[in-house]
Amino acid sequence: MPDGTLQANQLFQAGRQINAATNMRAVFQCLVDYAAESGVVDLAFLLAPDPHALDYLKISNLWNHESHGLGSGKNHFLRGQHPSIQLIEAHIPVLIADGSNDSRLDPQMQAVFNRLQAGPCAFLPLGTEMQWMGALVLGRTKDKLFDQPTLQPFLNLCGQASVALNNLLLLRETNALYSISQTLSQTLTSEDAFLSILEQVARFTGIAHCRITLFDEQTRTGRERYHFDLASNSGNAVTNNEGPVFPMGSGTLYALLQNKGTPVLCMAGNKHCPADAAAFLADQQLNALYCIPIMGQQDVLGFLALDSNSGDRPFTVSNKNFAQNAVAQLTTFLENISLFAEANTRAQELIQINQVVSRLAGILDLDRLLDVLIEEVNRLLTVDIFFLVRFRPVVDGYDVLRYVIDGQSQITTRTKRHAPSLPDILKRGGVLTGLSAQSLAAEFQTYTSRTPQSYLWVTYQEEQQPAGLIGVHAYQAQAYSENDQHLFRSIANQAGMAITNARLFQRTQDNVAEFRLLFTIAQAAAARVNATERLNSMVQALHQGLRGHTIVVYGIHSGGNRLELLAHAGDLVPHPLLTLTGGLSGQVARLTQPLLVNNLLELTEYDTEIEGAAAQLSAPLLTGQNLVGVVTVAAGETDSFSERDLRLVETSSVGLAATLESTRLFDNIQATNERLRALDQLKNRFLANMAHELRTPLNAIIGFSRVILKGIDGPITSKQEEDLTAIYENGQHLLLLINDVLDLAKIEAGKIALVIETIDLAELLTNIVSTIRGVLHDKPVSLQVEVESGIPRIEGDKIRLRQILLNLLSNAAKYTAEGQISCRIAHVDGEHVQIVIHDTGVGIAPTDFGRLFRAFEQADSTSRSAQGTGLGLPISKSLVEMHHGRIWFESVLNQGSTFYVLLPVRQPEAGTTI
């Protein structure tokens, strides 16, 4: 095999072996093996940084013909300031004529060559331009100098080895980084993460000391917290607070890290070295520090530092890369862990809120709800004092619904006026802490044995409107974290919804109760006919409906300037008569506005109107615009009444007012009726008397005129007879008039009772007809009577039926000058008979039809000549109707009239018999 071919084959084989090598030592060995087999060198070894102590270079893989050793401790070279090291690490091939005696080389290196009996030597660099990884050192005996053709294959092979070494380094780096991520994925705490990162960085870089310094928000300083020592192979958390610190805000290193977010190299003695880092280097007797920032979301949390006692040499690209990658992983981990922690906190908060929600849900009683709310707040927060304040914008005040100190519920106050700032606070909403919460607390607080150090207040809403405040105080300082504020706000939101629900429910319940009470009052009213009884039973119902408080109803006194007691129920005793000026009820009457006073004792300007009343509620009783009275509710205890009570009383005041008004109207009607009855009696008595008083003189007039006419007192002349007849007949007419007036009065007064018997109408008619014939005897008028056969006897009052027929027939006789009058009694059906009286007389004008049957309205003056009282028809009509019959007529003026009387055969009820 020709020499060149052999060389090429050897080189190819060596290259393959290098590519197959799995670690640095194997690569180095391939290089040395090639040198040994090449036959052109006498010695070969590798000079490379000691991976376990980067401040040193180490000789390895030594080969030489004589197989000389180096002896213990001779293969390490401190990478100090010696020029040879700089020469060697310059990354270019270096040829030296006599290595054992060249002053450019380190004496220790010279000694190595001397010992190995070598003169000329070559340092062939390994690694990339970025990172020097060592050198293949070749040597020859003193007389054989290296030339370029001899070295060329070695340079080629070193190039291949550099690529392989770089690959191996990258692989190692990748593996280590992977290992870090593996480790971190199983790490739960940041402490474990810090220590594990430090260990991995130290092991990979081979840097003796790695440290993590963390900045502390509170002390505003950075201090070393974790440390790894490669020599002892142990990592520790640093717990003591000794040694130099890195100031956080003003520190120069902090500023550099914060500004750039990239690593900072600090070299002792360098003018760019941050002052605090320089102090640290001096303190730790180091000469360089490589600081990689650990970034939080906003700022620098701390930094990982690599030590060096040999300048920046240990901070190889690979090491820096690796450390930065490791720190990046650490940052991610810390971010995750803080996100996780936050998520965890939020989850916890949600769980707590859910617990609060589930406990508050379904409680519809407000008192119970607030009790549970206090329990829950106590469970979740540090609470020494608890407040729940509800605003009442209408009255510009507030109610303290709950005030609990050290677990003791305090007496709560009702409706106090508040400082002007409160509505604004409420409108803004949200959480109040610190001084603003403290000054707010002062608004409500009445007593505390100890001064709280922590205050937390939050607004809550009802029905989407700002409704009030919930506050907690604690004696300890800083009792409420940001999370607590979050939590408290959420609780307040939930509490607001629960309170809204409870209130809505309560309102519904109240409405139902209200309706029930109003219904009861209405029922009480409806069950009584007498207005006074009705008022009393309404007052009684209200008394029971308003928890047994005293109810008083005053009416406006007839004078108008006093209130008089009309009804009351309850234990407290009202004054029977009030002025409109002194007391509350009077004021309500004057202003016609309701009034609620829950503490009468505070209002000294009012007169006492109900003995022992401490709280009073009054509403005007109005019918339309008219004040008819005042209803007042009184209680012996202060704070007895709510606005709901006021509303209830106002609502029931409508019914009370109506009853009061109807009482007044009823009394009026009673009085009117009484007066009318008295007048009626007076009229009846007057009529009866008048009849008597008129008959008495008529007795004499008619009697004496008749006596003389009869000649009892002696003979009279025909003229005297004529005159006396006039007296006699007018007396008779007057008598008739008196009888009719009296009859009518009796009928109208209902004083006539029919005496029912069975009557033969035909017989009755016969009697009457003979009388009528007497009246008609000198007139050309014929009278016909027709009675259908089989007319039944009918039930009726004989005298009254006679009166009716006589009246109708004598009317016919009176108003008929010539022609005929007929009277016919006929069947209608089995139960009625009809009497029809027809005449050919003057008739009745249609305009008079309406008033014919009305009293004192005789048709017109033309018929006056016929001499009637005008009362006959009204009396007849009344009498017919008393017999349950009907009377009507048909008439044509100047042709005649027909009167019909329809009478039942039987009277529906048994008549009275005197």
Partner 1 sequence: MDRERRQVAPEEAHVLVVEDNVANFVLVARLLAFAGIKNCEWKTTGWGVVEFAKTMPQVDLILMDLRLPHEDGYTALLQLRDDPQLADTAVVVITAQATAEEMAKAQSAGFDGFLGKPLDVDNFPDQIYNILRGEEIWDLGA
Q: Which is nearer to partner 1, 411 or 712 (CB)?
A: 712
x/- mask, partner 1, residues 798-827, rule CB under 8 A, reads -x----------------------------
Report the residue from 63, 475, 666, 704 that binds partner 1 according to the rule CB under 8 A. Answer: 704
For 610-647, b where at least 16 C-beta lie within 10 A, e where not — what string? beebbbbbbbbbeeeeebbbbbbbbbbebebbeeebbe
Per CB under 8 A, does 693 bind partner 1?
yes
* Among the residue ranges 31-39, 487-495, 668-676, 710-718, the one whose residues contact partner 1 (CB under 8 A): 710-718
Per CB under 8 A, does 698 bind partner 1?
yes
Q: Which is nearer to partner 1, 379 or 751 (CB)?
A: 751
The pair of structure tokens assigned to 482 is 């940001």
Q: Which is nearer to partner 1, 732 or 898 (CB)?
A: 732
The rounded distance, in Å, linking the Cα atoms of 244 and 227 is 15
CB 870 within 8 A of CB 856: yes
Report the residue from 416, 644, 695, 798 that binds partner 1 according to the rule CB under 8 A. Answer: 695
Q: Which is nearer to partner 1, 162 or 878 (CB)?
A: 878
Of 690, 841, 679, give the one whose Cα is nearest residue 748.
679
The rounded distance, in Å, linking the Cα atoms of 635 and 551 is 9
Of 626, 386, 341, give the one whose Cα is nearest residue 483.
341
Q: Identify the three-state secondary structure at position 260.
A: helix
Q: How far is the CB of 806 from partner 1 (least distance, A)?
A: 14
x/- mask, partner 1, residues 617-656, rule CB under 8 A, reads ----------------------------------------
Q: Which is nearer to partner 1, 597 or 768 (CB)?
A: 768
Per CB under 8 A, does 771 bind partner 1?
no
Sign of the dihedral through C-alpha 112, 114, 116, 118: positive
The rounded distance, in Å, linking the Cα atoms of 552 and 576 is 10
Q: Which is nearer to partner 1, 243 or 703 (CB)?
A: 703
Helix (H) or strand (E) holding 762: helix 761-776
Q: Which is nearer to partner 1, 402 or 800 (CB)?
A: 800
Q: Which is nearer to partner 1, 97 or 799 (CB)?
A: 799
* Among the residue ranges 210-218, 281-289, 684-692, 814-822, the one whose residues contact partner 1 (CB under 8 A): 684-692
Binding-site size, partner 1 (CB under 8 A): 26
Per CB under 8 A, does 421 bind partner 1?
no
* Among the residue ranges 93-101, 226-234, 697-705, 871-879, the one whose residues contact partner 1 (CB under 8 A): 697-705
* Among the residue ranges 273-281, 482-490, 698-706, 783-791, the one whose residues contact partner 1 (CB under 8 A): 698-706
Per CB under 8 A, does 726 bind partner 1?
no
Q: How far is the CB of 778 from partner 1 (least distance, A)?
A: 20
Write down the residue that tokens 């000549």 correspond to: 865
Report the residue from 188, 394, 411, 712 that binds partner 1 according to the rule CB under 8 A. Answer: 712
Q: How far is the CB of 746 from partner 1 (least distance, A)?
A: 8
Per CB under 8 A, does 80 bind partner 1?
no
Per CB under 8 A, does 237 bind partner 1?
no
Q: How far is the CB of 779 from partner 1 (least distance, A)?
A: 24
Q: Which is nearer to partner 1, 208 or 745 (CB)?
A: 745
Q: Which is nearer to partner 1, 417 or 692 (CB)?
A: 692
Q: Identify the three-state secondary structure at position 766.
A: helix
Per CB under 8 A, does 696 bind partner 1?
yes
Site for partner 1 in 740-769 (CB under 8 A): 742
For 261-278, b where at least 16 C-beta lie within 10 A, e where not — what string? eebbbbbbebeebbebbb
Radius of gyration of the chain measured on its C-alpha atoms? 66
Q: How far is the CB of 729 from partner 1 (least distance, A)?
A: 12
Q: Which is nearer to partner 1, 517 or 764 (CB)?
A: 764
- Give all strands (DSSP E) within 200-263, no chain letters: 209-216, 221-229, 234-237, 246-247
Per CB under 8 A, does 707 bind partner 1?
yes
Q: How far is the CB of 706 from partner 1 (least distance, A)?
A: 4
Per CB under 8 A, does 706 bind partner 1?
yes
Per CB under 8 A, does 882 bind partner 1?
no
Report the residue from 576, 612, 697, 780 that binds partner 1 according to the rule CB under 8 A. Answer: 697
The rounded distance, in Å, linking the Cα atoms of 469 and 388 is 6
Report the residue from 448, 732, 771, 822 that binds partner 1 according to the rule CB under 8 A. Answer: 732
Residues 6 or more apart whose Cβ sits within 8 Å of residue 239: none
Q: How far is the CB of 703 from partner 1 (least distance, A)?
A: 4
Q: Which is nearer to partner 1, 450 or 733 (CB)?
A: 733
Report the residue from 365, 463, 637, 713 that binds partner 1 according to the rule CB under 8 A. Answer: 713
Per CB under 8 A, does 691 bind partner 1?
yes
Q: Which is nearer to partner 1, 611 or 693 (CB)?
A: 693
Per CB under 8 A, does 729 bind partner 1?
no
The pair of structure tokens assigned to 794 is 């009918």
Dihedral pair phi/psi, residue 558, rounded to 5°: -55, -30
Helix (H) or strand (E) holding 494: helix 482-526
Q: Which is nearer to partner 1, 751 or 854 (CB)?
A: 751
CB 228 within 8 A of CB 346: no
Neighbouring-strand partners of residue 630:
554, 620
The rounded distance, in Å, linking the Cα atoms of 913 and 504 is 73
The pair of structure tokens assigned to 700 is 């004499």
Q: Which is nearer to partner 1, 163 or 688 (CB)?
A: 688
Q: How far is the CB of 571 from partner 1 (least distance, A)?
A: 59
Q: What's the Cα-to-Cα distance from 287 to each of 55, 269, 313, 489, rounded to whole Å? A: 12, 8, 11, 54
* Among the residue ranges 270-278, 672-680, 731-739, 762-770, the one whose residues contact partner 1 (CB under 8 A): 731-739
Per CB under 8 A, does 735 bind partner 1?
yes
The pair of structure tokens assigned to 704 is 């004496």
Q: Which is nearer to partner 1, 511 or 725 (CB)?
A: 725
What are the start-end ranges of the H helices in 186-220?
A: 190-205
Q: Which is nearer to partner 1, 702 or 873 (CB)?
A: 702
DSSP for 421-472, please give it.
Answer: HHHHHHHH-SEEEHHHHHHHHHHH----SS--SEEEEEEEEETTEEEEEEEE
Q: How far is the CB of 710 from partner 1 (least distance, A)?
A: 7
Report the residue from 16, 417, 450, 692 that binds partner 1 according to the rule CB under 8 A. Answer: 692
Site for partner 1 in 130-189 (CB under 8 A): none
Residues 6 or more apart whose Cβ sits within 8 Å of residue 662: 531, 534
The rounded distance, in Å, linking the Cα atoms of 357 and 363 is 11
Per CB under 8 A, does 580 bind partner 1?
no
Q: Identify the three-state secondary structure at position 400.
A: strand
The rounded distance, in Å, linking the Cα atoms of 474 and 480 is 9
Residues 6 or more apart whose Cβ sits within 8 Å of residue 289: 265, 266, 277, 280, 281, 305, 306, 307, 308
Q: How far is the CB of 805 from partner 1 (least distance, A)?
A: 18
Report the residue from 548, 703, 780, 846 that binds partner 1 according to the rule CB under 8 A. Answer: 703
Q: What's the Cα-to-Cα distance from 520 to each of 174, 526, 566, 652, 655, rounded to whole Å? A: 90, 10, 20, 11, 12
Per CB under 8 A, does 731 bind partner 1?
yes
The rounded distance, in Å, linking the Cα atoms of 735 and 450 is 111
Q: Which residues form the interface with partner 1 (CB under 8 A)?
A: 688, 691-704, 706-707, 710, 712-713, 731-732, 735, 742, 799, 914
